Structure 1
């Protein structure tokens, strides 16, 4: 048989190759998860043993330094046995029950766990971040960002009519994608910004905005044109949420949310439902989110009452929204870098 004949693929070979490659990739991911789960459980047990001994024997903190030295001598090629990490393990065992392989914390890398131990003292909030990070696959940087911005306090808090317009399970899922307020400090807008400047800034920093929105949002377009009757209308921002399988319309307002803004958003949502939604593909009812600088909750409640489309009214914060007498006193990025260099000098 010639070399050329050897290179001729038999029928179905390409499909078989792709199938096996997929199986190998899946097995490698599963193996990595098992290894990570075992490592997290090991760290918890080490921490629990240290806590138990210190409690019963009255040992001080110096014993941890000695343990670190002896363990690294015994296991010279194993990372993670430093004195600092042993202290984290002891803290870990004090703040979590022993994790099983199915527990969300066992699905997180150790670096994520140390961030949670350092930054989230409240147990309820810590468990919320553990579940969200494991479910959405947040990176360590994303987890840190969400903790810093207090995402657990903002999640699902925006006034909405979801319970009245969606089935119970859909309402809960839809509320989970809401934030109030949305943290748009990364835009660095001044206090006199216009709606177009806000929109331009959001598109210019779309990656940051998508991170703030949360997992599942896919960007469709800005100033998205829809034609109704003989007129063209333009949606500020249009997204599709992959988890909810539905379009999400954002209407931007730099002032206070008004009843007429909610009425206009309802009009946009109805138009998207009629012109873009594909129920035969499993698309759910379109959601509208009015993103305004401020709102009066009583006015919003009246404006949402009786509307058949799922709508919500959220607010946003920006660095530029800080009072003028406070903003100049905050350190700039250069100030922080200089301060860090000063600390690092011997």
Structure 2
């Protein structure tokens, strides 16, 4: 009896694969994600309809994997079928609330695919990485960020490994991060766009090595693409060591960016030691100069970021006015932080 049931499951899955393959659609990835989701649904439904024994469920996946591999080759391993099941279990509620959750799903694949493409905008490899994140809120955050920022799978992995979710939650608060994710938006408020701390492990500098601010700046320039990804969305590089002059005295701004979303210049000063009030005063001078001499009337006020090895919140609090929205200090780390430690800080 169980063998007949497994044969029926195989025929149903094969029919779905054949129908999906026969459709000519623009987004091949949508077909793939759509197909894998429904294979997972079929397997789960078959397991729930059959014996409650774990061995029976294991046999279903094993037999189906072997049959599909004989028919279609690689791609339907036991491990992949388990991913299909997990994908269905994690995202079935989203599908249930959409137009795709209809009784004739399999009979009308083209229309279902259109609805599906609006719900799942990433590649299957992205979703494999997302399924490894246990917390639903955190998973939703990384999914939304991947879509909004057009992250590659490698960029998604790097941002997760560097604890972006926890660092943004430390910069703001966990609820606001989750709220923006649920709303499907990425905040464009300056202070909310800054992580805490910045993680610069890609520079290859060692914590215990003697390096200068010039070494730090040069390493950032050499890895500019990585650094801009760490900065966030919308940054354009304008230049390094930009000189400003007052009555014959020259000053150099380490890094100058422009953010096309915030519509303002972003000045970055690099400090390899602990933040001082002199550092804040210097950045205030840079910001005032750009606001009065460089920015256009239609642009937003200039932002200044002091990137330091060790922050000093008390100095920041009592040096800057209470309504400060232009100058920010952030620590940087030369190693990937522990997610557990960051979570403890949030809690």
TM surpasses 0.5:
yes
1:51 and 2:44 equivalent? yes
Structure 1 unpaired stretches of 5+: 1-30, 160-168, 323-346
How much has 1:152 moved relative to structure 2?
A: 1.0
TM-score by length of 1: 0.71
Cα gap change, 1:103 to 1:314, in 2 (>3 Å):
farther
Residues of 1 paired with 2:218 and 2:78: CA distance? Answer: 48
How much has 1:73 moved relative to structure 2?
A: 4.9
Residues of 1 paired with 2:296 and 2:186: CA distance? Answer: 17
Is residue 41–residue 98 contact of structure 1 (8 Å, CA) maintained in 2? no
Q: 1:65 aligns with which of 62, 66, 69?
A: 62
Residues of 1 paired with 2:89 and 2:122: CA distance? Answer: 18
Is residue 251–residue 290 contact of structure 1 (8 Å, CA) maintained in 2? yes
Structure 2 unpaired stretches of 5+: 1-24, 99-114, 173-184, 339-347
Is residue 277–residue 319 contact of structure 2 (8 Å, CA) maintained in 1? yes
Cα gap change, 1:171 to 1:65, in 2 (>3 Å):
closer
Paired position in structure 1 for 2:78: 83
How much has 1:276 moved relative to structure 2?
A: 2.1
How much has 1:308 moved relative to structure 2?
A: 4.8
How much has 1:72 moved relative to structure 2?
A: 4.5
How much has 1:309 moved relative to structure 2?
A: 5.1
Paired position in structure 2 for 1:201: 219
1:40 and 2:33 equivalent? yes
Residues of 2 paired with 1:194 and 1:155: CA distance? Answer: 28
Residues of 1 paired with 2:315 and 2:289: CA distance? Answer: 24
Q: How many residues align?
A: 277
Residues of 1 paired with 2:245 and 2:323: CA distance? Answer: 22
TM-score by length of 2: 0.71
Is residue 224–residue 237 contact of structure 1 (8 Å, CA) maintained in 2? yes
SS in 2 for 1:292: strand
User: Superposed, which structure 2 residues align to 1:289-328 within 5 Å?
Assistant: 289-306=305-322, 308=324, 310-319=326-335
SS in 2 for 1:179: coil
Q: 1:189 aligns with which of 194, 205, 227?
A: 205
How much has 1:69 moved relative to structure 2?
A: 3.0
Residues of 2 paired with 1:305 and 1:102: CA distance? Answer: 49
Paired position in structure 1 for 2:90: 95
SS in 1 for 2:307: strand
Residues of 1 paired with 2:244 and 2:334: CA distance? Answer: 30
SS in 2 for 1:61: helix
Residues of 1 paired with 2:59 and 2:49: CA distance? Answer: 16
What's the Cα RMSD here?
2.9
Is residue 246–residue 284 contact of structure 1 (8 Å, CA) maintained in 2? yes
Is residue 266–residue 309 contact of structure 1 (8 Å, CA) maintained in 2? no
How much has 1:105 moved relative to structure 2?
A: 6.0
Residues of 2 paired with 1:213 and 1:233: CA distance? Answer: 24
Paired position in structure 1 for 2:272: 254
SS in 2 for 1:155: helix
SS in 2 for 1:285: coil
Cα gap change, 1:308 to 1:229, in 2 (>3 Å):
farther
Residues of 2 paired with 1:170 and 1:93: CA distance? Answer: 27
